[in-house]
Amino acid sequence: MRNRPHEPQPPVGSSAWDTARLAAQIALEDPDLCSDLRRTAKQAIELAKRLEGVLGRFAVLEARFEHTIRKVETTTGQVVEEELFAQLTERLGVAQVRPALEMLQEAHPDTDNVTI
């Protein structure tokens, strides 16, 4: 494993040196592992940040939607039946959000669903 030209060599015996040595040993066993892991970790972090914003907006819109349904019920004097509500949430894609989030939960790295 080569250091980049602008990076000074870590002193032998330092934690940076030990880390570099371990990375080199891993590279001997699996040459692409560290770079693949670094790239994938960066992607996961970027996606999580974007998803956090989208989910925050979704929560606000979902609450607004439910509030507006209640206003419609008050204005019209008619109760929106569960089946009609479910059909509309299905049509708008709202019903698919929680199952999609459950897929993310199952893909979480702390779950025991990974085999090598």
pLDDT at 105: 84
pTM: 0.66
CA dihedral 66, 67, 71, 77 (to 10 degrees): 40
pLDDT higher than 90, residue 39: yes
In three-state secondary structure terms, 114 is coil
pLDDT higher than 70, residue 40: yes
Q: What residue ranges do the domains of the chain occupy? A: 15-107
Residue 93 — φ and ψ, nearest 5°? 90, -5
**67-97 pLDDT tens trace:** 999 999 999 999 999 999 999 999 999 999 9
Q: What is the rounded distance in angstroms from the CA atom of residue 107 to the CA atom of residue 114?
A: 9
**47-68 pLDDT tens trace:** 999 999 999 999 999 999 999 9
